[in-house]
């Protein structure tokens, strides 16, 4: 007769520390039971120093990483490097959903302002409202600096760019934030929508095409003047006005 | 006869949740198969061909492949993207509320033809109606009917005598309206004569007639309270999107009144109350 307290099957032949490690890896997102086993056996076969390095890195990240008091991004120092960087424009704040979105925008090297990380988006059907994301912190940056704000942070913010994801929740979050921010007297803009580079018009959905048409960029005006594609619409309009002037 | 590996269906996407990598699970509401959960692969990538067609509150034609656990969306084409719904936060919040009701009330393999049509009509009405709340009240009434929770509005739920317009109470646990004599001791809320008449009207009249009725804010809130109570009792849980409707409504009122919507948050923050 089987003893119910005694492990059976695979767990019976796996040592308890190893089973614990497999179980720990299995809890990570995207890691199935087989991958968890492979990772655990890799750690087991690796030199002691490599395992120690992994363990130290895990503990280090938990102990030393916190949220920046201003932008709410993950940081080791508070305020973070971006918020303290004098080369960055403090008058423009780009609002993103997750810390990984900051990395994506930084990779594009198209923005030199500061950030605000919401750590999520509104998700009405999951019960995630404004209180569950960093909305109050954003409002505090714009309206009433809290005692923890530094002089660098309280500099006047002139524009907020809403760079939440272009899906239903991201759009709802952006629309909600716009309602709160516009009355504060700050310019609020939304990142452009349209077709991604390298895609096919044939496969685009109606809403994307609709947005792409609505936010189209002029290439030339009615007087036969070319407009630079890379210039933003406002700059392009100015360029068009300038080129329409007779040369002295 | 062997079951086909792929099948076509039209559906309204009720919601999504992330799966692994760039995949998402989409909850689809179909006329013939009821509620289906299916995997949309790679839709978080910017170059996904599927992403725009599987957004929540979109009506699309789908080709699905049967799989061991969740079916897989292989093709999708938008029929109706409800642009006016997505572009207006007030209307969007109501659309999400309707979608959550269907998501919570329905299950798989159930014939949902009638409810599908009601949801589709409701989303169109929320898109275009002057007040996006009335289509929801009409939809709640149909949903309660459809699911077997039709409130009793003709006779007293206790003594079964015909109801007069005034002095009644709406008792959600008792399943309808209690007359002035029987309301004592019942869990319920006072029901105004106007709300009583309107509830009766909503229960029997087609939407086109209901839409002609002018409802002021107070009456609208009273109706909402009674019907939401009935819906939540039937579900035995809170409708989460209702909270979002409240949040959006409060910002909307602030915008229309010209108030600084953010002021309460900022003041709380400044006083260190959070």
Q: Is B5 helix (H, G, I), strand (E, B) or coil?
A: coil
A85 domain-assigned = yes
CB neighbour burial string for B194-203, b if at least 16 within 10 angstroms, e if fewer: bbbebbbebb
Report how far residue A215's alpha carbon sits from residue A125's, in angstroms, rounded to the nearest whole number.
30
CB of B174 within 8 A of CB of B158?
yes
Minimum CA–CA partner of A175 in chain B: B89
Same domain as B191, residue B57: no
Q: CB distance from A185 to chain B under 8 Å?
A: no
Work out the burial of residue B29: count CB atoms within 10 Å of its CB; fewer than 13 is exposed, 13-18 middle, 19 or more buried. buried
Reported ipTM: the value is 0.81
CA distance to partner chain B, nearest, from residue A151 (Å): 16
Does pLDDT of A248 surpass 50? no
A26 domain-assigned = yes
The per-residue pLDDT for A196 is: 82
Report how far residue B76's alpha carbon sits from residue A172's, in angstroms, rounded to the nearest whole number.
23
Which of B52, B98, B255, B267 is best to mutate for the A interface (most A CBs within 10 A)? B52
The per-residue pLDDT for B252 is: 77
Quick check: B21 and A122 CB within 8 A? no
Does pLDDT of A3 surpass 90? no
CB neighbour burial string for B254-266, b if at least 16 within 10 angstroms, e if fewer: bbeeeeebbbebb
Q: At B126, which helix (H) or strand (E)?
A: helix B113-128
The per-residue pLDDT for B109 is: 64
For B:205-234, CB contacts with A below 8 A are none
Range name among A66-70, A79-83, A146-150, B194-198 with the lowest pLDDT average? A146-150
Question: Which positions of chain B have pLDDT values less than 70?
Answer: 1-4, 108-111, 253-274
Separation of CA B52 from chain center: 22
CB of B101 within 8 A of CB of B231?
yes
pTM recorded for the entire structure? 0.80
Same domain as A79, residue A50: no
Residues of A in contact with B261 (CB under 8 A): 179-180, 183
For A:6-35, CB contacts with B below 8 A are 29-30
Q: At A120, which helix (H) or strand (E)?
A: none
Same domain as B224, residue B96: yes
CA distance to partner chain B, nearest, from residue A188 (Å): 14
The per-residue pLDDT for B217 is: 87
In the numeric block, the tokens 């120093």 are attached to A49
A109 domain-assigned = yes
B12 domain-assigned = yes
B158: CATH: 1.20.1440.120
Question: To the nearest whole number, what is the mean pLDDT of chain A?
Answer: 83
Quick check: B262 and A183 CB within 8 A? yes
* Domain extent for B177: 91-105+133-256
A94 domain-assigned = yes
Same domain as B49, residue B99: no
The per-residue pLDDT for B1 is: 57
B193 domain-assigned = yes
The per-residue pLDDT for B2 is: 61
Span A131-153, mean pLDDT? 69
CB of A111 within 8 A of CB of A119?
no
The per-residue pLDDT for B165 is: 85
Continuous H helices in chain A: 10-13, 16-26, 33-45, 48-64, 81-84, 99-108, 135-142, 168-181, 206-214, 233-244
A179 contact partners, CB below 8 Å, separation of at least 6: B89, B251, B252, B254, B255, B261
Minimum CA–CA partner of A167 in chain B: B55
For A:204-233, CB contacts with B below 8 A are 204-208, 210
Q: At B197, which helix (H) or strand (E)?
A: helix B193-204
B32 domain-assigned = yes
Same domain as A93, residue A59: no
The per-residue pLDDT for B264 is: 38
B100 domain-assigned = yes
Same domain as A158, residue A125: yes
B19 domain-assigned = yes
* Domain extent for A52: 15-64
B114 domain-assigned = no
Q: What is the pLDDT of residues A183-219, one digit of tens each?
A: 888 999 999 888 888 788 888 888 888 888 888 888 8
Same domain as A177, residue A115: yes
Structure-block tokens of residue B172: 């959600």
Same domain as A127, residue A234: no
Length of chain A: 248
Same domain as B240, residue B148: yes
Same domain as B101, residue B72: no
Same domain as A237, residue A174: no
Does pLDDT of A42 surpass 60? yes
The per-residue pLDDT for B147 is: 87
CA distance to partner chain B, nearest, from residue A243 (Å): 36
Quick check: A136 and B268 CB within 8 A? yes
A124: CATH: 3.40.1360.10
Structure-block tokens of residue A48: 């002691």
Quick check: B269 and A127 CB within 8 A? no
- Residue B133: name the closest of B249, B34, B265, B259 by CA: B249
Quick check: A207 and B274 CB within 8 A? no
Position A153 confidence tier, pLDDT thresholds 50, 70, 90: very low
A57: CATH: 1.10.8.420
For B:95-134, CB contacts with A below 8 A are 96-97, 99-100, 103
Q: CB distance from B47 to chain A under 8 Å?
A: yes
Same domain as B51, residue B142: no
Position A135 confidence tier, pLDDT thresholds 50, 70, 90: very high
CA distance to partner chain B, nearest, from residue A177 (Å): 10
Nearest CB to A207; choose among B21, B52, B100: B52
Quick check: A144 and B269 CB within 8 A? yes
Same domain as B211, residue B99: yes
Same domain as A85, residue A148: yes
A96 domain-assigned = yes
Report how far residue B230's alpha carbon sits from residue A226's, in angstroms, rounded to the nearest whole number.
63
CA distances from A54 to A47, A48, A58, A59 (A): 11, 10, 6, 9
Structure-block tokens of residue A215: 């936010």
B117 domain-assigned = no
Same domain as A174, residue A92: yes
Quick check: A179 and B255 CB within 8 A? yes
Residues of A in contact with B97 (CB under 8 A): 124
Query: Chain A to chain B, count of Cβ pairs less than 8 Å apart?
Result: 115
How many folded domains does chain A comprise? Answer: 3
How many folded domains does chain B comprise? Answer: 2
A209 domain-assigned = no
B113 domain-assigned = no
The per-residue pLDDT for B268 is: 38
Same domain as A175, residue A126: yes
The per-residue pLDDT for B71 is: 93
B19: CATH: 2.40.50.140
Question: What stretches of chain B adopt beta strand conformation (E)?
Answer: 6-18, 24-30, 34-40, 59-65, 71-80, 168-171, 176-178, 189-191
- CB-hemisphere CA count at 13 Å for B93? 24
């Amino acid at each position: 007769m089987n003893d119910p307290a005694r492990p059976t099957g695979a767990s019976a032949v796996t040592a308890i520390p190893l089973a614990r490690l497999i179980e720990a890896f299995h809890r990570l997102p995207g890691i199935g039971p087989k991958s968890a086993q492979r990772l655990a056996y890799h750690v087991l076969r690796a030199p002691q120093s490599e395992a120690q390095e992994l363990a130290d890195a895990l503990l280090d990240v938990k102990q030393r990483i916190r949220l920046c008091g201003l932008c709410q991004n993950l940081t080791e120092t508070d305020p973070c490097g971006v918020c303290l960087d004098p080369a960055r424009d403090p008058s423009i704040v780009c609002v993103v959903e997750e810390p990984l979105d900051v990395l994506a925008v930084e990779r594009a090297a198209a923005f030199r302002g500061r950030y605000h990380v919401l750590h999520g988006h509104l998700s009405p059907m999951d019960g995630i409202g404004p209180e569950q994301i960093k909305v109050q912190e954003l409002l505090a940056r714009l309206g009433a600096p809290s005692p923890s704000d530094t002089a660098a942070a309280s500099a006047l913010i002139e524009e907020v760019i809403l760079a939440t994801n272009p899906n239903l929740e991201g759009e709802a979050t952006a629309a909600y934030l716009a309602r709160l921010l516009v009355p504060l007297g700050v310019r609020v803009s939304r990142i452009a929508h349209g077709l991604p580079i390298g895609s096919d018009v044939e496969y685009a959905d109606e809403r994307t095409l609709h947005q792409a048409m609505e936010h189209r960029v002029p290439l030339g005006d009615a007087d036969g003047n070319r407009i630079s594609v890379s210039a933003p619409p406002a700059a392009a309009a100015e360029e068009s006005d300038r080129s329409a002037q007779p040369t002295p | 006869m062997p079951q086909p590996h792929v099948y076509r269906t039209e559906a309204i996407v009720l919601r999504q949740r992330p799966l692994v990598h760039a995949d998402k699970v989409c909850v689809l509401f179909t006329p013939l198969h009821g509620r289906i959960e299916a995997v949309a692969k790679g839709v978080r990538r910017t170059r996904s061909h599927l992403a725009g067609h599987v957004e929540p509150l979109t009506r699309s034609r789908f080709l699905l492949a049967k799989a061991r656990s969740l079916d897989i969306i292989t093709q999708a084409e938008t029929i109706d993207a409800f642009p006016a719904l997505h572009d207006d936060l007030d209307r969007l919040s109501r659309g999400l509320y309707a979608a959550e009701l269907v998501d919570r009330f329905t299950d798989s393999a159930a014939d949902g033809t009638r409810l599908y049509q009601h949801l589709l009509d409701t989303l169109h009405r929320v898109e275009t109606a002057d007040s996006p709340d009335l289509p929801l009240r009409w939809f709640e009434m149909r949903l309660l009917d459809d699911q077997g929770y039709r409130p009793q509005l003709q006779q007293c739920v206790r003594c079964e005598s015909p109801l007069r317009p005034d002095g009644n109470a709406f008792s959600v646990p008792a399943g309808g309206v209690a007359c002035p004599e029987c309301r004592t001791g019942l869990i319920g809320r006072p029901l105004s004569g106007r709300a009583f008449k309107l509830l009766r009207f909503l229960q029997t009249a087609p939407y086109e007639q209901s839409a002609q009725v002018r409802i002021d804010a107070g009456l609208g809130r009273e109706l909402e309270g009674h019907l939401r109570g009935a819906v939540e009792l039937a579900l035995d849980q809170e409708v989460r999107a209702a909270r979002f409707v409240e949040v959006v409504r409060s910002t909307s009122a602030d915008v229309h009144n010209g108030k600084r919507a953010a002021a309460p948050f900022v003041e709380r923050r400044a006083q260190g109350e959070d």
